[in-house]
Structure 1
Amino acid sequence: MTVYGIGLGPGEADLVTVKGKRLLESAAVVYSPGRLSRTVALNHVPEERIGDLDFPMTRDPDELRRAWKEAAAEVAARADSEDVAFVTLGDPNVYSTFGHLRRTLDAFHPDIDLEVVPGVSAMTAFTTALGVEIESGTGLALREAADGAAPTGPDRMVLFKVTDAPATHEKLTEAGYDVRFGRRLFMEQGETVVTDDPDELAERDYYTLAYAEREGVERDVATAEFDGVESGGSA
């Protein structure tokens, strides 16, 4: 049978894809790696079909490998006779716990079939939440920004895990970027915040993104000249 890695999207229950919802409803058990993904999954499957796996909060590699081997063994045992699902927020292949499960299953249970069902990632949903357009022909870099890190270089960047918004904002503005933040975008758990003011996000929260655009960056698209033109006016 098959293990389905299903992306639940950024957190709103109705942003799960049609295929993802269908497979959730048909899976014998739906494994969840954490509280938030479990909350979203419960909108689509009854609690008795949710399987909770234990993942310790540690950086010890031996402890992590032990936990993933145990999780993979449990999932593989169920998948030997019936379809099961493993859910994550966002997309299973974008900064996701599913990658650990997939690698462990490949190594120790190679006969298990795996299928990934993509989900809406906060890395793309941020454009809607922040009102940002990434035009064709432009470059975009995706970086991690935990603990105030603020890598620079490209004209546009999306930084995730912004756990120190004021520090990240200070470093980026000093490097010549305009910065906007989004916290818990399209999530039903907690307050969604979209702001240019890092002081509104002084409290640390793992689910915070920053969009940085170099000041004065040119938009080389035909319709760029329409920006700022009022409806009915002329460029």
Structure 2
Amino acid sequence: MTLYGVGLGPGDAGLLTVRGAQVLDEVDVVYTPGRLSRSVALEHVPESRIGDLEFPMTRDEAELRQAWKSAASDVAPTAEDGDAAFVTLGDPNVYSTFGHLRRTIERFHPGVDVEVVPGVSSVTAFAAALDVEIAAGSELTLREASGGDAPVGPDRLILFKVTDVPVTHEKLVDAGYEVTYGRRLFMEQGETVITDDPTELADRDYYTLAYAERADVDDDHALFES
């Protein structure tokens, strides 16, 4: 049968897609990889159909591989005999934990079909939250910026996993960028913060992103005739 990778959206239960809600309503078990995704899933399915999966907080690759193999062993019997869903915040194919499970399932349980149900991601939802318009013709680059990293280059950047905001901010400003930060955007868990003051976000939070735009960027775009 089928394992569905379902994107829950950025954390607001109302931003789950219609297709995502339909799948969650129909599958036998909805597997969740953590507390935040579980809380969103519970807005759509009863706890009796939730399957919790535990993953270690580690960078040890051998330990992580074993954890994903164990998770695949838990999920596969349900997906072989019926239908199951693995839910993740954002989109299952964009910087998601689902990719690890999918590769493990495909290797060790080839009889399971896999289908991805895309979800609203903070990578795109930031524009609404920060009231930013990325007009046609604009160049926008997505980068990771954990631990104080600040990759630069294009006129406009979206940096996610900004875990050391003050350090990243200083580097971006020195490189000629104006920066706005969003923390826990469209998330029902925790406090949503939108600010251009890095001191407000001095504490570490994985769910922090930055929109960086060069101060001298040209925002004039050609208009198409109607």
- The TM-score bracket by the shorter chain reads over 0.9
Structure 2 unaligned regions, length at least 5: none
What displacement does 1:33 show? Answer: 0.4
The residue number in structure 2 matching 1:50 is 50
The residue number in structure 1 matching 2:121 is 121
Matched, 1:139 2:139: yes
The residue number in structure 2 matching 1:66 is 66
Matched, 1:153 2:153: yes
The more displaced of 34-43 and 50-59 is 50-59
Structure 1 counterpart of 2:4, which letter?
Answer: Y
What displacement does 1:12 show? Answer: 0.3
TM-score of the two chains, using structure 1 as the length reference: 0.93
C-alpha distance after superposition, 1:170-204 (max 9, x if no partner): 10000000000000000000010111111111111
User: C-alpha separation between the residues in 2 aligned to 1:222 and 1:197?
Assistant: 33
C-alpha distance after superposition, 1:76-123 (max 9, x if no partner): 111111110000000000110000000001111111100000000000
What displacement does 1:222 show? Answer: 3.3
The residue number in structure 2 matching 1:228 is none
C-alpha distance after superposition, 1:156-177 (max 9, x if no partner): 0000011111111110000000
Give 1:9-20 correspondences, 5 Å limit: 9-20=9-20
Matched, 1:99 2:103: no
The residue number in structure 2 matching 1:178 is 178
Matched, 1:85 2:124: no
Give 1:12-31 correspondences, 5 Å limit: 12-31=12-31
User: C-alpha separation between the residues in 2 aligned to 1:74 and 1:190?
Assistant: 30
The residue number in structure 2 matching 1:165 is 165
Once superposed, what is the RMSD of the aligned Cα atoms? 0.8
What is the number of residues matched between the two proteins?
Answer: 223
User: C-alpha separation between the residues in 2 aligned to 1:69 and 1:203?
Assistant: 34
What displacement does 1:139 show? Answer: 1.1
What displacement does 1:209 show? Answer: 0.3
Identity between Structure 1 and Structure 2 (%): 70
Structure 1 unaligned regions, length at least 5: 224-235
Matched, 1:7 2:7: yes
What displacement does 1:74 show? Answer: 1.3
User: C-alpha separation between the residues in 2 aligned to 1:140 and 1:102?
Assistant: 29
What displacement does 1:63 show? Answer: 1.1
The residue number in structure 2 matching 1:39 is 39
The more displaced of 118-127 and 71-80 is 71-80
Structure 2 counterpart of 1:110, which letter?
Answer: P
Q: Write out the 4+ residue segments of structure 1 that deviate beyond 4 Å after TM superposition.
A: none
TM-score of the two chains, using structure 2 as the length reference: 0.97
The residue number in structure 1 matching 2:207 is 207
User: Which structure has the larger Rg?
Assistant: 1
The residue number in structure 2 matching 1:108 is 108
3-state DSSP of counterpart to 1:222: coil
C-alpha distance after superposition, 1:54-73 (max 9, x if no partner): 21111111111111111111
